Chain A
């Protein structure tokens, strides 16, 4: 998150870190150090990152294999067994329609993953494209894009999302689109400020001096060196998007209420606060865990993607 801020005011610190202690060049390493294996090694050395990855992978697996894992159909109502406390039969109890909570949470991970990932991917896509244009081409593009970003930035996320959803109707796609559309501005700003500093790096001049095309300079030199903070921000935003989606459900504009989705579950369960707390506690925990997983993963990725960090 910090990167966001320092990025915002344009004082992002991207200068190459201090000179590392001289590497042990004594023994020529013959081993082919591939890009990925090195990143992987750095990543795996970071316990928190691995923990985050574990959470995310488990969630993804759960989402993909929900039908195999879930003990029951998340939509199956059993009106004779409504509001049953957690038991061996229903590990996390049943809701007001006698649906198995555990199964709903398991299926809910699908929506969470889709909404969380897709909306952030969308925001990233728009934000990175526009941020790159603004940062690299500067001038009128910069002014134009940044003013538009200001507009979106000043527009409260939930408000924007609600309007779009009213426009498109309820459902997963509108939620994804609206969250994406109203969160790209941060990505664009972040990337732009990073690019502004990377743009002046000597290796960019070197590539220009070689006669490299703009495309090449942007794609090979500028973007890879400016997206890390975007990656971190994106990862932490996944959690924010999931929370926002849950809030939309609370405000009655999320996905359709029968859908097994964490926000819906919290929304339905909140009325039972103090009576049947398990109804809102477990879905809330699911959201928190997911958000934590992505944040850890993001921070880990940033560290791993940076070959300088050791």
Chain B
């Protein structure tokens, strides 16, 4: 298994390189001069501009820039940002932690909400409950999270005053953004949980468990849930990319100081090192997360051997 992990990490390198390469190619053919964004909006002395370009290596050919980037990346250095001249790592790491907090809370919501709703729907198949779950989950996927977030904010912050508007890092201030972020995935988790549950419910081993005279609860928790949760975990692993996309919007709405917000700001100010940094981080996290999912998967399902 150790080898497996090592190989997966090797894969990580490949994918991170691929992703950053694509991004590099895109960013640097973008119109506009990134140096224009260094500092403020004011015009500046050509000499200064020239120096800045040299400092950031912007006059090198794209390939050279990329190679430099990779070299630094190897040392865990993501470079310096354009607007404040600070280390990208230093800027992004606290944001990454913030986003991670949000994402983890969202995923917990996903699992609790999605799983319980999905399981209940499957258990009461064809009931009003089941049909409305199907309907509502489809609905949740169809409503843009902007709208969901703003409604939540308006209602719970402004009208009811239950939650603070501005995050102070407390759990309370995390509830709304996390819910907004979670809603779509929770709906999808519910759908997945429902259909795998239906499949598992029909499985022969469930019949066996019933024939053994086990109590309903035992059958549900031991034999059904454990087998149903595997696809849900897989889904959560792969949905991370979407989660980050969602974070762009959620963090904007709720002013959550995470990498999503950093990305939006960076995109608007052409702060390329930050953009590349965010993507690098998120791709790496995505792959690490999926590695964890795989390990979890193997832990939950003994049929899967990691070799």
B144 partner, pick from A5, A236, A247, beta carbons under 8 A: A247
| Chain B residues in 8 Å Cβ range of A295 | 138, 141-142
What DSSP secondary structure best describes chain B's contact surface? helix
Q: Taking the complex as formed, is A273 at the interface, i.e. its CB lies under 8 A from any CB of chain B? A: yes
Q: Taking the complex as formed, is A173 at the interface, i.e. its CB lies under 8 A from any CB of chain B? A: no
The interface size of chain B toward A, counting residues with CB under 8 Å, comes to 55
**8 Å CB interface, A20-36 against B:** none
Given A167-B30, A266-B147, also A243-B142 (CB < 8 A): yes
A274-B26 in contact (CB<8A)? no
A1-B188 in contact (CB<8A)? yes
B22-A155 in contact (CB<8A)? yes
> Closest residue of chain A to B264, judged by CB?
A251
A292-B142 in contact (CB<8A)? yes
Q: Chain A 296-310, CB within 8 Å of chain B: the 1/0 string?
A: 100000000000000
| Chain A residues in 8 Å Cβ range of B267 | 162-163, 166
Complex formed: what's the CA distance from A163 to B245 in Å?
A: 13
Given A158-B245, A251-B249, A270-B150, also A164-B26 (CB < 8 A): yes
Complex formed: what's the CA distance from A240 to B184 in Å?
A: 10
In the complex, besides A6-B231, A166-B267, 20 extra interface pairs with C-beta distance below 8 angstroms are A1-B192, A5-B234, A9-B231, A147-B18, A151-B18, A154-B282, A156-B241, A156-B279, A158-B245, A159-B263, A243-B141, A243-B142, A244-B245, A246-B146, A247-B145, A247-B248, A250-B146, A270-B146, A273-B151, A291-B138
Which residues of chain A have a CB within 8 Å of any CB of chain B?
1-2, 4-6, 8-9, 13, 147-148, 150-151, 153-159, 162-164, 166-167, 236, 239-240, 243-244, 246-247, 250-252, 263, 266-267, 270, 273-274, 280, 284, 287-292, 295-296
**8 Å CB interface, B130-144 against A:** 138-139, 141-144
What DSSP secondary structure best describes chain A's contact surface? helix
A287-B144 in contact (CB<8A)? yes
Question: Whole-angstrom distance from the CB of A283 to the nearest CB of chain B?
Answer: 9
Complex formed: what's the CA distance from A263 to B145 in Å?
A: 12
A246-B196 in contact (CB<8A)? no
| Chain B residues in 8 Å Cβ range of A162 | 267
A5-B235 in contact (CB<8A)? yes
Q: Chain B 20-33, CB within 8 Å of chain A: the 1/0 string?
A: 00110011011000
B29 partner, pick from A147, A167, A250, beta carbons under 8 A: A167
A287-B241 in contact (CB<8A)? no
B249-A155 in contact (CB<8A)? no
Complex formed: what's the CA distance from A6 to B146 in Å?
A: 30
A159 partner, pick from B196, B238, B244, B287, beta carbons under 8 A: B244
> Closest residue of chain B to A157, judged by CB?
B245
Complex formed: what's the CA distance from A266 to B145 in Å?
A: 11
B143-A154 in contact (CB<8A)? no
